[in-house]
C-alpha cells in the first residue's frame, strides 16, 4: 500500500487526477496512462 500512498500524495495536487488514480489499478500504469490520454476508462 506504500506505492498507492506515494502516488496519491503526488496526485493530491491534482484533485481531478486523484479520483481516477484510486479507481485505476496500479500494476499497469502505462496502459492506464494511454487510456487516460484518449479519455477512455480501463476496467
Range of the domain at 33: 2-38
The pLDDT value recorded for residue 12 is: 53
Residue 17 domain-assigned?
yes
Residue 9 domain-assigned?
yes
Q: In 3D, which of 2, 14, 37 has the Cα closest to residue 29? A: 37
> Could you list the pLDDT tens digit for every one of the 43 residues in the chain?
555 565 555 555 555 555 555 555 556 555 555 666 667 766 6
The pLDDT value recorded for residue 6 is: 58
Query: How many Cα atoms within 13 Å fall on the side-chain side of residue 27?
Result: 2
Alpha helices in the chain (DSSP H): 2-11, 15-23, 29-38
Largest CA distance in the chain: 28
17's CB contacts (< 8 A; 6+ apart) are 11
Residue 43 domain-assigned?
no
- State the cell numbers at 17: 487526477
- State the cell numbers at 38: 484518449
Amino acid at each position: 500500500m506504500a506505492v498507492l500512498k506515494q502516488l496519491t500524495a503526488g496526485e493530491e495536487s491534482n484533485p481531478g487526477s486523484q479520483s481516477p488514480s484510486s479507481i485505476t489499478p496500479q500494476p499497469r500504469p502505462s496502459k492506464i496512462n494511454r487510456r487516460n490520454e484518449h479519455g477512455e476508462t480501463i476496467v
